[in-house]
Amino acid sequence: MLRLNRVSEQAAGAAPKGALRLRLTFDERSRSRLAAMTEDGTAVAIMLPRGTRLRGGSVLEGEGGALALVEAAPQPLARVSAETPLQLLRIVYHLANRHVPAQIEESAVLIERDPVLERMIASLGARIEHVERPFEPEAGAYHEGGHAHSHGIEPDDPARTIGEELSIAAHRARGEAPQ
């Protein structure tokens, strides 16, 4: 089994000469440890630092100079649209409040299929179309690889932001302990 243990620094996109092709879903591209098969049937073990999130076009490096181009595999998604931009903005607000990975389009948002979320946003007036496409959600504003934050930041920490302050205040107003 070929071990792939580093994300290449070279520009993402074009396949390097001789690179293996590795089609992965968003969930698979979010794992730091994964056994997978390349398009040509080569077994690979992806072993990356925790928190690494791959995107379509990422290039992995491995033993003996091996390279693998990551492609975002098509997967079942819900394409969410609405009658008006304001209605869609309200729907996206509720999805973001639940930290739902979302791929933003000009007049719609794509999310992974979830019957509970789909019922909730349908109640807000969403139009939902089931599609199968590659999924490349927004990486998030806090980290290059995705969204994560802690409400335990010390008051004098420069990483503390107005957004963190508002989030903490909202939790306290609802009588919840900040996470």
CATH code for the domain defined by 74-134: 3.30.70.790
Strands 59-62 and 2-7, sheet pairing:
antiparallel
CATH class, range 2-72:
mainly beta
pLDDT one-digit tens code per residue, 36-55? 999 999 999 999 998 888 99
Query: 42 exposed, middle or buried (CB, 10 Å; 0-12, 13-18, 19+)?
Result: middle
All structural domains of the chain with their residue ranges: 2-72, 74-134, 149-179
Structure-model confidence comparison of residues 58 and 172, the more confident one: 58
Residue 123 has pLDDT above 60, yes or no: yes
Write down the pLDDT at residue 179: 54
Give percent of the chain above pLDDT 70: 78
3-state SS record for 17-39: CCCEEEEECHHHHCCCEEEEECC
CB 63 within 8 A of CB 6: no
Write down the pLDDT at residue 170: 67
Separation CA 99–CA 44 (nearest Å): 31
List beta partners, residue 125: none
Write down the pLDDT at residue 139: 83
Structure-model confidence comparison of residues 64 and 13, the more confident one: 64
Write down the pLDDT at residue 113: 97
Residue 68 has pLDDT above 60, yes or no: yes
Q: What is the mean pLDDT of residues 64-69?
A: 92
Write down the pLDDT at residue 149: 43
Coil, strand, or helix at residue 148?
coil
Q: What is the mean pLDDT of residues 47-68?
A: 92
Closest CA to 113 of 75, 83, 64, 142: 75
Structure-model confidence comparison of residues 175 and 123, the more confident one: 123
Write down the pLDDT at residue 148: 42
pLDDT one-digit tens code per residue, 129-172? 999 999 999 987 655 543 344 444 454 454 455 556 666 666 67
Structure-model confidence comparison of residues 122 and 11, the more confident one: 122
Average pLDDT score, the chain: 85
Coil, strand, or helix at residue 96?
helix
Buried b (16+ CB within 10 A) or exposed e, 128-154: beeeeebbebeeeeeeebbeebeeebe
DSSP H or E segment with residue 41: none
